Amino acid sequence: MLLYVDSNFASPYALVAYVSLLEKGLTFDVKPLEIFANAQKESAYAATSITRRVPTLIHDHFALSESSAICEYIDESFDGTQLYPVGLRDRARARQIQAWLRSDLMPIREERPTFVVFSGAKRPALSPQAIEAAQKLFAAALQLLEGRTEYLFGEWSIADVDLAMMLQRLVAHGDSAPQRLVDYANHQWHRPSVQRWINHSRPPLTEY
Protein backbone atom coordinates (compact mmCIF):
# COMPACT_ATOMS: atom_id res chain seq x y z
CA MET A 1 0.00 0.00 0.00
CA LEU A 2 1.35 3.40 -1.00
CA LEU A 3 0.20 6.91 -0.13
CA TYR A 4 1.33 9.89 -2.17
CA VAL A 5 1.55 13.10 -0.11
CA ASP A 6 3.05 16.55 -0.56
CA SER A 7 6.77 16.81 0.24
CA ASN A 8 6.13 19.58 2.79
CA PHE A 9 3.71 17.40 4.75
CA ALA A 10 1.37 20.39 4.90
CA SER A 11 -1.67 19.19 2.96
CA PRO A 12 -4.71 18.91 5.24
CA TYR A 13 -6.11 16.33 2.86
CA ALA A 14 -3.01 14.14 2.91
CA LEU A 15 -3.14 14.46 6.71
CA VAL A 16 -6.54 12.78 7.04
CA ALA A 17 -5.64 10.01 4.59
CA TYR A 18 -2.41 9.34 6.50
CA VAL A 19 -4.21 9.37 9.86
CA SER A 20 -6.88 7.00 8.51
CA LEU A 21 -4.27 4.43 7.54
CA LEU A 22 -2.55 4.68 10.91
CA GLU A 23 -5.81 4.40 12.83
CA LYS A 24 -6.54 1.13 11.03
CA GLY A 25 -3.11 -0.19 12.01
CA LEU A 26 -2.09 -0.68 8.37
CA THR A 27 1.41 -0.93 6.98
CA PHE A 28 2.00 1.47 4.11
CA ASP A 29 4.71 3.43 2.36
CA VAL A 30 4.66 7.20 1.90
CA LYS A 31 5.91 8.84 -1.28
CA PRO A 32 6.27 12.65 -1.10
CA LEU A 33 5.72 14.69 -4.25
CA GLU A 34 7.27 18.09 -4.93
CA ILE A 35 4.00 19.91 -5.50
CA PHE A 36 5.63 23.32 -5.90
CA ALA A 37 7.68 21.82 -8.73
CA ASN A 38 4.47 20.49 -10.35
CA ALA A 39 5.48 16.87 -9.87
CA GLN A 40 1.78 15.98 -9.73
CA LYS A 41 1.48 17.01 -13.39
CA GLU A 42 4.19 14.67 -14.65
CA SER A 43 2.95 11.95 -16.98
CA ALA A 44 3.69 9.01 -14.66
CA TYR A 45 1.71 10.50 -11.80
CA ALA A 46 -1.04 11.79 -14.06
CA ALA A 47 -1.49 8.24 -15.31
CA THR A 48 -1.87 7.08 -11.72
CA SER A 49 -4.01 9.82 -10.19
CA ILE A 50 -7.08 10.79 -12.19
CA THR A 51 -7.30 14.17 -10.46
CA ARG A 52 -3.51 14.75 -10.48
CA ARG A 53 -3.62 15.82 -6.84
CA VAL A 54 -2.46 14.55 -3.47
CA PRO A 55 -3.23 12.46 -1.63
CA THR A 56 -3.51 9.40 -3.83
CA LEU A 57 -3.71 5.91 -2.36
CA ILE A 58 -2.49 2.82 -4.23
CA HIS A 59 -3.89 -0.47 -2.93
CA ASP A 60 -3.58 -3.72 -4.91
CA HIS A 61 -3.20 -1.82 -8.19
CA PHE A 62 -6.25 0.33 -7.38
CA ALA A 63 -5.50 4.06 -7.38
CA LEU A 64 -7.82 6.43 -5.54
CA SER A 65 -7.52 10.18 -5.03
CA GLU A 66 -9.58 12.79 -3.14
CA SER A 67 -9.15 12.52 0.61
CA SER A 68 -12.75 11.95 1.72
CA ALA A 69 -13.09 9.12 -0.83
CA ILE A 70 -9.84 7.63 0.48
CA CYS A 71 -11.05 7.84 4.10
CA GLU A 72 -14.33 6.11 3.24
CA TYR A 73 -12.55 3.41 1.21
CA ILE A 74 -10.15 2.69 4.06
CA ASP A 75 -12.97 2.57 6.61
CA GLU A 76 -15.04 0.16 4.54
CA SER A 77 -12.11 -2.05 3.51
CA PHE A 78 -10.31 -2.69 6.77
CA ASP A 79 -10.97 -3.58 10.38
CA GLY A 80 -9.65 -1.43 13.20
CA THR A 81 -10.64 1.95 14.54
CA GLN A 82 -13.93 3.13 13.07
CA LEU A 83 -13.24 6.27 11.04
CA TYR A 84 -16.88 7.32 10.65
CA PRO A 85 -19.78 7.13 13.10
CA VAL A 86 -21.91 4.00 12.93
CA GLY A 87 -25.27 5.78 13.08
CA LEU A 88 -26.72 6.72 9.70
CA ARG A 89 -27.38 10.37 10.55
CA ASP A 90 -24.10 10.91 12.38
CA ARG A 91 -22.27 9.33 9.45
CA ALA A 92 -24.06 11.66 7.07
CA ARG A 93 -23.19 14.60 9.31
CA ALA A 94 -19.53 13.62 9.34
CA ARG A 95 -19.51 13.56 5.54
CA GLN A 96 -21.28 16.92 5.50
CA ILE A 97 -18.58 18.42 7.74
CA GLN A 98 -15.83 17.07 5.50
CA ALA A 99 -17.50 18.38 2.33
CA TRP A 100 -18.13 21.79 3.88
CA LEU A 101 -14.58 22.25 5.10
CA ARG A 102 -13.27 21.38 1.63
CA SER A 103 -15.54 23.77 -0.24
CA ASP A 104 -16.06 26.82 1.99
CA LEU A 105 -14.17 29.25 4.25
CA MET A 106 -11.78 30.22 1.47
CA PRO A 107 -10.60 33.46 3.17
CA ILE A 108 -9.30 31.42 6.11
CA ARG A 109 -7.58 28.95 3.81
CA GLU A 110 -5.97 31.77 1.82
CA GLU A 111 -4.88 33.93 4.77
CA ARG A 112 -3.97 31.09 7.12
CA PRO A 113 -2.33 28.43 4.93
CA THR A 114 -1.36 25.21 6.63
CA PHE A 115 2.24 26.39 6.89
CA VAL A 116 1.12 28.46 9.89
CA VAL A 117 0.18 25.18 11.57
CA PHE A 118 3.02 22.89 10.58
CA SER A 119 5.92 25.30 10.12
CA GLY A 120 5.16 28.33 12.26
CA ALA A 121 4.61 30.73 9.37
CA LYS A 122 3.29 34.18 10.31
CA ARG A 123 0.77 36.17 8.32
CA PRO A 124 -0.83 39.65 8.62
CA ALA A 125 -3.97 40.22 10.63
CA LEU A 126 -7.13 38.68 9.23
CA SER A 127 -9.06 40.67 6.65
CA PRO A 128 -12.73 41.51 7.28
CA GLN A 129 -13.66 38.66 4.94
CA ALA A 130 -11.54 36.18 6.88
CA ILE A 131 -12.94 37.42 10.21
CA GLU A 132 -16.44 36.83 8.85
CA ALA A 133 -15.44 33.32 7.73
CA ALA A 134 -13.89 32.64 11.14
CA GLN A 135 -17.09 33.66 12.90
CA LYS A 136 -19.04 31.33 10.62
CA LEU A 137 -16.61 28.51 11.44
CA PHE A 138 -16.81 29.15 15.17
CA ALA A 139 -20.62 29.28 15.18
CA ALA A 140 -20.91 26.01 13.27
CA ALA A 141 -18.27 24.24 15.37
CA LEU A 142 -19.86 25.33 18.64
CA GLN A 143 -23.25 24.14 17.42
CA LEU A 144 -21.83 20.79 16.32
CA LEU A 145 -20.09 20.32 19.67
CA GLU A 146 -23.03 21.41 21.81
CA GLY A 147 -23.61 18.79 24.51
CA ARG A 148 -20.48 16.89 23.46
CA THR A 149 -17.23 16.47 25.33
CA GLU A 150 -14.08 15.71 23.34
CA TYR A 151 -15.49 14.60 19.99
CA LEU A 152 -18.17 15.54 17.48
CA PHE A 153 -20.04 12.25 17.80
CA GLY A 154 -19.20 11.04 21.30
CA GLU A 155 -16.29 8.96 19.99
CA TRP A 156 -13.42 10.00 17.75
CA SER A 157 -13.99 10.16 14.00
CA ILE A 158 -11.93 11.35 11.06
CA ALA A 159 -14.24 14.39 10.85
CA ASP A 160 -12.71 15.54 14.15
CA VAL A 161 -9.33 15.77 12.41
CA ASP A 162 -10.82 17.75 9.54
CA LEU A 163 -12.54 20.23 11.85
CA ALA A 164 -9.52 20.54 14.13
CA MET A 165 -7.31 21.20 11.10
CA MET A 166 -9.44 24.14 10.03
CA LEU A 167 -9.52 25.51 13.57
CA GLN A 168 -5.77 25.08 13.98
CA ARG A 169 -5.17 27.46 11.08
CA LEU A 170 -6.36 30.15 13.48
CA VAL A 171 -5.44 28.65 16.85
CA ALA A 172 -1.84 27.83 15.92
CA HIS A 173 -1.38 31.31 14.49
CA GLY A 174 -2.61 32.93 17.71
CA ASP A 175 -5.81 34.38 16.30
CA SER A 176 -8.67 34.87 18.73
CA ALA A 177 -11.01 31.88 19.06
CA PRO A 178 -13.48 30.63 21.68
CA GLN A 179 -11.64 28.70 24.38
CA ARG A 180 -14.00 25.76 23.92
CA LEU A 181 -12.78 25.41 20.34
CA VAL A 182 -9.13 25.99 21.24
CA ASP A 183 -9.35 23.13 23.75
CA TYR A 184 -11.13 20.91 21.24
CA ALA A 185 -8.63 21.56 18.44
CA ASN A 186 -5.63 21.01 20.71
CA HIS A 187 -7.11 17.78 22.07
CA GLN A 188 -7.41 16.36 18.54
CA TRP A 189 -3.87 17.52 17.80
CA HIS A 190 -2.47 15.32 20.57
CA ARG A 191 -3.87 12.10 19.11
CA PRO A 192 -0.88 9.81 18.38
CA SER A 193 -1.77 9.31 14.71
CA VAL A 194 -1.98 13.09 14.19
CA GLN A 195 1.29 13.59 16.06
CA ARG A 196 3.00 11.19 13.64
CA TRP A 197 2.11 13.56 10.80
CA ILE A 198 3.02 16.69 12.76
CA ASN A 199 6.46 15.29 13.62
CA HIS A 200 7.56 14.68 10.03
CA SER A 201 10.61 16.74 9.10
CA ARG A 202 9.91 19.61 6.73
CA PRO A 203 12.00 21.94 4.54
CA PRO A 204 12.97 25.27 6.16
CA LEU A 205 10.20 27.84 6.17
CA THR A 206 12.20 30.12 3.86
CA GLU A 207 11.64 27.62 1.05
CA TYR A 208 7.89 28.10 1.04
Q: Identify the structural domains of the chain with CATH numbers, from first to last.
A: 2-81 (3.40.30.10), 88-191 (1.20.1050.10)
Among the listed residues 137, 153, 133, the one whose alpha carbon sits nearest the alpha carbon of residue 145: 153
pLDDT tens-place string over residues 171-191? 999 999 999 999 999 999 999
Query: What is the pLDDT at residue 65?
Result: 94
Task: In whole angstroms, give the CA distance from residue 161 to residue 189.
Answer: 8
Residue with more model confidence, 37 or 195: 195
Task: In whole angstroms, give the CA distance from residue 48 to residue 51.
Answer: 9
Query: What is the pLDDT at residue 207?
Result: 44
Mean pLDDT, to the nearest integer, of 110-132? 96
Among the listed residues 31, 26, 27, 7, the one whose alpha carbon sits nearest the alpha carbon of residue 201: 7
pLDDT above 90 covers a percentage of the chain that reads 84
Task: In whole angstroms, give the CA distance from residue 195 to residue 173.
Answer: 18
Helix runs in 39-119, H state only: 43-48, 67-77, 88-103, 106-111, 115-118
Task: In whole angstroms, give the CA distance from residue 179 to residue 176.
Answer: 9
pLDDT band at 208 (very low <50, low <70, confident <90, very high): very low
Task: In whole angstroms, give the CA distance from residue 5 to residue 19.
Answer: 12
Query: What is the pLDDT at residue 39?
Result: 60
pLDDT tens-place string over residues 32-47? 998 766 667 677 777 7
Model pTM score: 0.93
